[in-house]
Every structure is written in structure tokens, then in C-alpha cells.
Amino acid sequence: MKSLKWAFLALTLFTFTLNSCKKSGNSTPKVTNTVALKFNGTAYTTSTITATYSKGALQIIGSFNSTTVIHLLIPTDVKVGSFDLATGGGATIFSAGPTVDVFGDSGTITITSFTGTIVEGTFQFSGTSILDGNTYTITSGTFQTNYTTQ
């Protein structure tokens, strides 16, 4: 009877120890590190991204190739929410080769998640190229990336 009590106590302690152990798992969110958009209907996607956060400002640069780049900027008070380009809440530039540099005149950058290391959101805008004078639209813009703090 005495050995049964000790066996039961040992089993109880063993079970308690297993259940109280801290679970180890990878709780780090998976980041795709992508920027995607449609420029006048043509889709672009890249995983070549640089993102920095400094003094309340966030800058994201995605390079699609050696001549095609998207630049997104929120100059102050970065948080989850929408930033209007027309009022200066955000700024965008899309460069496509030697003839197209589109500065966003109207549109939005929307931050959907902003953690200590990851930012993600959407954007859309239209603007006139300072190089050829034509109006262009950027739609279906998305981004998700790690950022560095400076």
C-alpha cells in the first residue's frame, strides 16, 4: 500500500511538471517581406524592400528591378490608420524607367498593423509624371515587411 502511494505521488508530480513546463514554440510572426501593386493595370511584386522608422516617420522602398521603384513615406505620427496624400499625411513616388516618375497627388497609405518590428498595409494613389506629363494610377498596393529603427 505504501509503494502504491509513492507511485501515485511520483505520477502526480511527473504530470504536474510536464503540464507546467513553458511551451517553446516559434511565436515570431512570419513576414513575407513583399510589396505589390498595379501600375496602370500591370502587376508588380518584389521582395527587395528597405523599411526604416525614425523619429516618428516611416519610409518603405521597394525595388522591382534596376529602374522600377516604389517609395512610400509617412512623415509623422505613424500608427494603424489611413494617411491622406492630398493633405500631406503621406507621400509616394513610383518610378518606372527613364520616362515615368509619378508623385502621388491623391490617394492613401493605410497601415493595418504596426508592431515593434513589422509593418503592413495597403496603398493606392494617382498622380502626374513630372517627366512625361501623363496621369497614372497605382492600385491594389500592399506591403508587409520588417523595419529597422534608427
List C-alpha distances in Å: 53 to 11, 132, 150: 53, 32, 6
The confidence score (pLDDT) of residue 99 equals: 85
Report yes or no: 19 and 13 within 8 Å, Cβ to Cβ: no
Grid coordinates representing 62?
Answer: 521597394
Q: Which of 19-23, 41-45, 104-108, 119-123 is predicted least confidently?
A: 19-23
The 34-39 sheet, strands edge to edge: 42-46, 34-39, 135-146, 118-128, 106-114, 81-84
Least confident of 5-9, 83-87, 144-148: 5-9
Cell output for 104: 502621388
Q: What pTM was computed for the model? A: 0.79
Report the pLDDT value the prediction gives residue 46, as an integer from 0 to 100: 97
- C-alpha cell of 61? 522602398
pLDDT tens digit sequence for 57-109: 999 999 999 999 999 999 999 999 999 999 999 999 999 988 899 999 999 99
Beta strands 42-46; 34-39: pairing state: antiparallel
